[in-house]
Amino acid sequence: MLYGTIVLALSILIKGLFAGQAQWFDGLAKSLGYESVYHHAVIIDAGSSGTRVLAYRFRVPFTVFGQPNLDLVDEFWEETKPGLSSYVDDPEKGADTIVQLVRHAAHLVPPERRRDTPLIVRATAGLRLLAPQKAQMLIDEVSKAISKLGYHVDQNSVEIMDGSDEGIFIWYTVNLLHNLIGSGTMAALDLGGGSTQITFEPREEDRKLSPPADLYVVPAGAANVTLYTHSYLKLGLLAARYGIFRLEANDNDTNEFVSVCVDPIVQREKWTYANKQYVISGAARADGAKREAVYARCHGAARRYVARTAGAAGAAGAAPAQPPRGAVAAMSYFYDVAADAGLIDVMRGGAVSAAQYRAAALRACSASNVEQPWACVDLVYVHTLLQDVFKIRDAEPVSLFKKVNGHEVSWALGLAYTSIMNKMASAPEA
């Protein structure tokens, strides 16, 4: 598991990303001609719904004493769809999508620095859902392709990321960007296409109620903290949408679904999931059916799917013993679903409660909106996930982030920073 490596690297990470260490000395050094040292990293987030490149440029500020830190000064983000797992039957084409993304980010890394710049590919739930042999074929093809691009690549550069690592990295990222490490940290909820993660600092009394496999001791400033983190495979938004449709079809192996969560005006709408095309139609509704009744039927299907999927792994799949302590931050599809429903500003984000997701679901489930045919099922599912799995109280605000101070909120940032700090720490002294 990657976690051991993560803990070692993070022991230096949390000493000061964006901490503004010794700004006065750094400014004085620059005025006296100090030449800044820069480091770069290129991270590929091979998710289930799309593949993203996140390239970073960090600066080493002048340090009087102690371990040098890094300031993030520039980044580049680009996405391509579909995700890498969609190329399961054409691994070479899938690898080429990653090569093209790396080339698009090349302007951020000077050619003379690329041999020292880590290029890291981490696949998430999309590949975790594939048969191991199929996933390995994709990994092997990607490894071969990126080894020719001139960056620093080794035998660990392309891997399937464990769900707990994904959760821990996004927790670090959101709390580092808010400068909260070592104080009152925020819980982090991440909703991808194939899986969802929850990570937070549990109360001491709640640790005894949590499965040991979900508890991790990680460094946080001068001390260590215990995190609860769990990743739920098949509870990502797209996996859940498919799962709900299939549950309504009594789990029959069919590519045509009829759903109570889709308005009847939608007939034979094409939808592609996991590289397979499906046809979705809305179920007929009784004349005069109230929106509460439509919502209730969809909510019932969503709850049945969540209950059987979240508990499929036995005790290890159980929900947290208690709700997250303190403020809650949510990312990815939590943000997108709220933005599409008009609950937040699409550029600035905002805070949304589970009750607001439910109210938006009530509206969506009674609206004939052919431009957003999945709005009802997605909003109902998000509300169900927040309440039934994550135990978020109805009125509790959840802060939704896509960017913080202009930086993408992605686990890739934590991975990039850690990789460079680890490299700096292991470099021989001049």
Tens digit of pLDDT per residue, the chain (430 long)? Answer: 555 555 555 554 554 455 444 454 445 445 544 557 889 999 999 988 899 999 999 988 755 445 556 778 899 999 999 999 999 999 999 999 999 999 999 999 999 999 999 999 999 988 988 999 999 999 999 999 999 999 999 999 999 999 889 999 899 899 888 888 777 899 999 999 999 999 999 988 888 888 899 999 887 756 788 999 999 999 999 999 999 999 999 999 899 999 999 999 999 999 999 889 999 999 998 765 677 888 999 999 999 999 999 875 433 445 676 788 889 999 999 999 999 999 999 999 999 999 999 999 999 998 888 899 999 999 999 999 999 999 999 999 999 999 998 889 999 998 898 788 778 877 765 4
Active site residue 166: yes
Question: Residue 69: its pLDDT value, please?
Answer: 65
For 61, the token pair is 């500020």
Q: Give CA–CA dist 123/47, Å, rounded.
A: 6
Q: Which of 75, 166, 248, 408 is catalytic?
A: 166
d(CA 189, CA 171): 8
Phi, psi (rounded to 5 degrees) for 309: -80, -45
The rounded distance, in Å, linking the Cα atoms of 239 and 403 is 25
Q: Are 316 and 211 in contact (CB under 8 A)?
A: yes
Collapsing DSSP to helix, strand or coil, 70 comes out as coil
Q: How do the domains of the chain map onto residue ranges?
A: 3-164+408-426, 237-404
CATH superfamily entry for domain 3-164+408-426: ATPase, nucleotide binding domain (3.30.420.40)
| Cβ–Cβ under 8 Å, residues 177 and 405 | yes
Q: Nearest 10 degrees: CA dihedral of 142, 146, 147, 151?
A: -150
CATH level 2 (architecture), domain 237-404: 2-Layer Sandwich (3.30)
3-state helix, strand, coil in the chain (%, to 5): 40, 25, 35
For the chain, first and last CA: distance in Å? 33
Topology match between the domains 3-164+408-426 and 237-404: yes
DSSP character string of 19-44 = --TTHHHHHHHHHTTPPPEEEEEEEE
Q: Residues 245, 266: contact at Cβ < 8 Å? A: no
Angstrom distance (rounded) from CA 152 to CA 5: 18
Distance CA 41, CA 109 (A): 8
CA-to-CA distance for 145 and 323, rounded, in angstroms?
A: 44
